[in-house]
Structure 1
Amino acid sequence: MRTMAGRRRGRPLVAVAGVSALLALISACGGSSSGGGGGGSVEGSKITLSVQAGLVPQFQKYVAAYEKAYPKRKVTVGSLPDDATQYVQQLVTERLGNKLPDVLMNVDYAANPLADGNVTLDIADRLEKGTDGLKGSSFLPQFVGQYRPVSHPEQITGLPVSADSTTLFYNKAVFEKAGVTEYPKATWTWDDLYRVGAEIEQKTGGKYAGLTAPLGTGDQPAVYNPVIHAMGGYVYDPKTKKSGIGQPEAIKAWEMLLKAYGTASPKYSANVAGQPKFEQGQSAMAFSVRAAVPNIKQSLKDDWDAQTMPKLNGKPTVGGGSYGLSISKSSHNQDAAWAFLAWFYSQDGGMKVAQATGQVVPPTQEGVDHGTWRQLPAPPQNEAAFAQDAKDAYLPAALPGSAGTVLSDSVIKAVQQVELQHRSVADAFGDAEKAVNQALQSAK
Structure 2
Amino acid sequence: MSKTTLTQFTPSRRTVLAGLAASPFALAAGSHFAMAQPTSGTLSIAVLDWAETGIKPVFAAYEAARPGVKIDYSLLPGDYQGIRQTLLSRRLANKLPDITYLADILATQLANAEVTADMRPFLTSGGPIGMTSLAKPFLDQYLVTSGPNKDGIFGLPIGADTVVLYYNKKHFDDAGIPYPNDDWTFEKQIEVATQLTQKSGTTTTRYGLAASVPWHATYVPGIEAFGDTLLDENNMYKLQTEAAIKVFTMYWDQVKAGVIASTPQQTQLGGGFQAFGAGTVSMLQSVRALTPLIRSVTTDDWDVALEPKINGVRKTGMGSIAQSITTSGQANNKDLCYDYLNWFYSEDGGMKILAAGYGTVPPVEALYESPIWTALPGPPYDNRVFAESIQYGAMNPTSIPADVQAVVDTELTKAEEAVTLNNVPVADALKAAEAVINEAMARVLAAGG
Q: TM-score, normalising length from structure 1? A: 0.86
| Structure 2 contact 105–401 (Cα < 8 Å) conserved | no
Aligned to 2:214: 219
Q: Supply the AA of the counterpart residue of 2:255.
A: Y
Q: CA deviation at 1:396?
A: 2.7
**Structure 2 CA distance, aligned partners of 1:330 and 1:410?**
38
Contact 1:5 1:321 in 2 (8 A): no
CA contact (8 A) 2:209 2:261 kept: no
Name the counterpart of 1:30: none
Following TM superposition, by how much is the alpha carbon of 1:4 offset from its aligned partner in structure 2, in angstroms? 6.5
In 2, Cα distance between equivalents of 1:166 and 1:388: 11
Identify the residue that residue 18 of structure 1 maps to in structure 2: none
Deviation at 1:253, TM superposition (A): 1.3
**Partner residue, 1:296:** 294
Q: 1:209 to 1:267 in 2, by over 3 A?
A: closer
Deviations 1:173-227 (A, max 9, x none): 12233x2322111110000000000011158984321111x23xx5211111101
Is the alpha carbon distance of 1:189 and 1:153 closer, same or farther for their aligned partners in structure 2, counting shifts above 3 Å?
farther
The one-letter code matched in structure 2 to 1:168 is L
Report whether the alignment pairs 1:193 with 2:189: yes
Instruction: Kindly indicate whether the alpha-carbon contact (under 8 Å) linking 2:76 and 2:86 is maintained by their aligned counterparts in 1.
Output: yes
Whether 1:138 aligns to 2:137 is no
Residue of structure 2 equivalent to 1:98: 94
State the distance in 1 between where 2:296 and 2:235 align. 44
- Superposed, 1:295-444 pairs within 5 Å as 295-331=293-329, 332-370=332-370, 372-398=372-398, 399-444=400-445
Deviation at 1:74?
2.1
Could you tell me how far apart the structure 1 residues matched to 2:192 and 2:104 are?
Answer: 34
Alpha-carbon distance between aligned partners in 1 of 2:397 and 2:49, rounded to the nearest angstrom = 27
Q: Do the aligned partners of 2:98 and 2:333 also contact (CA within 8 Å) in 1?
A: yes
The aligned counterpart of 2:12 is 9
DSSP 3-state at the match of 1:324: strand
User: For 2:368, what is the secondary structure of its paired residue?
Assistant: helix
Contact 1:56 1:77 (C-alpha < 8 Å) held by counterparts: no
Gaps of 5+ in 1: 12-40
Give the alignment's Cα RMSD to 1 decimal.
Answer: 2.4
Cα separation, 2, equivalents of 1:184 and 1:153: 42
User: In the TM superposition, what whole-angstrom CA distance separates every residue of 1:108-137 from its partner, at most 9, and x where no partner exists?
Assistant: 12222111111001012331x253211121
Note if contact 2:157-2:320 (Cα within 8 Å) is conserved in structure 1: yes
> What SS does the aligned partner of 1:166 have?
strand
Q: Which residue of 2 aligns with 1:265?
A: 259
CA 1:193 to 1:130, structure 2 compared with 1: closer, same or farther past 3 Å? farther
Equivalence for 1:49: 45
Distance 1:284 1:101, change over 3 A: same
Asked whether the 8 Å contact 1:320–1:395 carries over to 2, the reply is yes
Change (3 A) 1:248 1:6: closer
Aligned residue for 2:64?
Answer: 68
Alignment CA distance shift 1:395-1:266 (3 Å): closer
CA distance in 2, matches of 1:6, 1:119: 24
Do 2:199 and 2:206's aligned partners in 1 also have CA atoms closer than 8 Å? no
What is the 5 A alignment of 1:17-166? 42-127=38-123, 129=124, 131-151=126-146, 152-166=149-163
C-alpha deviation, 1:166, in angstroms: 0.4
Equivalent position SS for 2:45: strand
* Superposed CA offset, 1:249-269 (max 9, x none): 211111112122144625768
Gaps of 5+ in 2: 15-36
In the alignment, structure 1 residue 234 sits paired with structure 2 residue 237: no
Secondary structure at the residue paired with 1:207? strand
SS at match of 1:168: strand
Q: What is the distance in 1 between the residues matched to 2:196 and 2:338?
A: 51
Secondary structure of 2:78's partner? coil
TM-score normalized with structure 2 length:
0.85
Q: How many residues align?
A: 410
The runs of at least 4 aligned residues of structure 1 exceeding 6 Å deviation read 1-5
Q: Show CA shifts across 1:326-379 (max 9, x none).
A: 101122112211211111011111111111111001143223343521111000
